[in-house]
Amino acid sequence: MAELSVVEEDITTLDVDAIVNAANEALLGGGGVDGAIHQAAGPELLEACRALGGCPTGEAKITPGFNLPARHVIHTVGPVWQSGRDGEDDLLASCYRRSIEVAAENGVTSIAFPAISTGVFEFPPERAAPIAIKSVRIALREAPGIKEVVFCCFGEESAARHNAALSSA
């Protein structure tokens, strides 16, 4: 079983096989984590993303990492929070599951996730952290090649929520 950990760092600096980008459906860059990843990876990432033709919410696609320490970037599109009654929980869980599946299909052994959808997409962070941990644990059952999963948090509160979810899951 993979080792799961929580860190409070800049995801673009992590030396893992793949980092996950919390992207928008166009995959053409944006703000927050998405903007930081595009800036750190260089303009080649934008060109690679253009070739993918977008990505639906809840799905994931992979590109090279270009100028990042990570060899790959797995782009996933999280749900925009509406009311909690529009399938947001299931879509968020799918982001984590599909990212693990894409990672496994591409020989990734270590992967780092941001807190998907908890920024500009306004998914409640206290609700998102347990979904993230549970979804990854379930997906890892079918991905024995993945040995390390890092939940890379922006800020102490996010790290505390993920650590609490990790301890109680």
CATH number at residue 86: 3.40.220.10
Ramachandran quadrant class, 51 (left: phi over 0; alpha: psi -120 to 50; beta: rest): alpha
How many structural domains does the chain have? 1
The per-residue pLDDT for range 64-120, each reduced to its tens digit, is: 999 999 999 999 999 999 999 999 999 999 999 999 999 999 999 999 999 999 999
Nearest CA to 59 among 75, 35, 82, 48?
A: 75
Contact in structure between 119 and 162 (CB atoms under 8 Å): no
Q: Say yes or no to pLDDT of 125 above 80.
A: yes
Share of the chain above pLDDT 90, in %: 94
The predicted structure's pLDDT at residue 1: 78
Let me know the angle formed at the C-alpha of 116 by 169 and 35, rounded to the nearest 5 degrees. 150
Q: Does 169 score more than 70 pLDDT?
A: no
Question: Token pair of 6, please?
Answer: 């929580």
- Residue partners of 88: CB distance under 8 A and separation at least 6: 79, 80, 81, 82, 117, 123
Cite the active site residues. Answer: 34
pTM across the whole model = 0.97
d(CA 110, CA 145): 9
The whole domain housing 124 covers: 3-168
